[in-house]
Amino acid sequence: MNGPIRRVAVVAMLMTLALLVNVSVSYLARQDSLNANSQNRRVTDAAFAQDRGAIMVGNTAVAETVASKDQYKFQRRYPQSELYAPVTGYFSYLFGSSELEQSYGAQLSGNDSSQFVNRLIDLATGAKPKGANIQTTLDARAQRAASDALGKLKGAVVALNPKTGAILAMVSSPTFDPNDLATHNMSDSQKAWAALTKSSAKPMSNRATREIFPPGSTFKVIVSAAALDAGYEPDSELDASSYKLPGTNTVIASNCGSRQTLARALALSCNAAFARLGVKLGADALRNQAEKFGFGTKPLSDIGSVASRFPDQIDVPQTGLASIGGFDVAASPLQMAMVAAAVRNDGVVMQPYLVESVRSADLQVLSQTRPSQLSLATSASDAAKLRQMMVEVVNSGTGWRARIPGVTIGGKTGTANSDNVRTPYAWFISWAEDPDVAVCVFVQDAEMEATDVAGGRVAAPIAKAVIEALR
């Protein structure tokens, strides 16, 4: 072979080798990024040509796939659309997916590694592949009761099983209809997306897990836990007179006399008493106690959640405000439900979860969630004291509207009005013994004066409705 031919052969061989390397790298290293590329319509077309699994609440599908007569072969449908939208999310050709549709997308589409054997069997038998079904922990009675009781109020409701962490209800209001985004009419889908994303009400925001708000006086349960840990008792007397925050001209007026026990101060929600108590305990003790309840963590991986916070940098007067759920303290409704659940569960904080199991189309269990402990918030003895204190809140305090004859209920009202401009946030956290449940209700626009009457009058009856639905 002469020189010029040899050089051409070498160049051709090197180019072929480079092409093979590029293809191999693209397949092995860039596969996920290429598949996720929004411009890769082949992947989206393939996803819409799959028989996607259902999302179940009990024996009812709240997200399902039905055959369609268009080019996509299958249509995603949400029979109880707005009720479960904060949990199911949406599955859209143009806008991707959210919530369980996103986090369990691989299982629902049948592409998860746990379904590899099923895919081989389908290939060998010629059967059409089907995605796995997602079994949620939700209780339809609790979900419906929470939604109906919250009504058109802006806010959220979360109900937990204190012993396991299973989420029994998760409602966020206002909500949306995921069918509007799942439609194969692209023009209608775009119009729906534009309306939802431009709405000042933020209907696609999951207020239960993805947003944090000042928790108001519900934070006093955490301050009470820190006080018990420091040696206080429910009958320890507190100075409840008006309190001028150290180094400031800000006075927290007394709303419950000059002296009260710790238990009675919680029942009456004495701001001055708890601000003074929080300053005595110190910011580090309060932060440590909040973190024991789950603050600073993202507790829910099934659909994503944000961390609740107690500020890192905080001075003495700010500590006083934080002790009554103000300043920079912020929590999600899920987090405050976890606080109530831990009190009910002897101080043990369980990892919250929304998916009970993943099952193949032939009902084979592919994965099962096992309850697990997240942290230990208090000792069992301190939790028992907190339970009795929270029972007093309902029996003879600000939470009396949550009473149910024959049912032991503990609770704590709360109202937050940090900027003195917007309407106050109303809160109520609670637990019941029978049924065994913890509930947090958050109402973003209580439209009442900024006192705990808002939490008691607006939020407590909603929690009561959820508890009654589970009896």
DSSP sequence for 33-58: HHHH-TT-HHHHHHHHTSBPPPEEET
- 61 Cβ neighbours under 8 A, 6+ residues apart: 54, 55, 79
Question: Could you tell me whether strands 133-136 and 55-57 are parallel, antiparallel, or unpaired per DSSP bridges?
Answer: parallel
Provide the residue type at 73 as one letter: K
Cα distance between residue 374 and residue 301, in whole Å: 13
Cα distance between residue 194 and residue 103, in whole Å: 24
Among candidate residues 217, 269, 305, 323, the one labeled active-site is 217
Report which of 355, 345, 333 is spatially closest to residue 133, judged by C-alpha positions: 355
Report which of 286, 271, 263, 284 is spatially closest to residue 396, judged by C-alpha positions: 263
DSSP sequence for 375-431: EE-S-HHHHHHHHHHHHHHHHHSTTGGG-BTTB-EEEEEEEE-SSSSSPPEEEEEEE
Provide the residue type at 264 as one letter: R
What H or E segment, with its residue span, contains residue 260? strand 259-261
Supply 327's token pair: 């300043």
**For this structure, is 217 an active site residue?**
yes
Q: Are 36 and 117 in contact (CB under 8 A)?
A: no
- 195 Cβ neighbours under 8 A, 6+ residues apart: none
Q: Please list the active-site residues.
A: 217
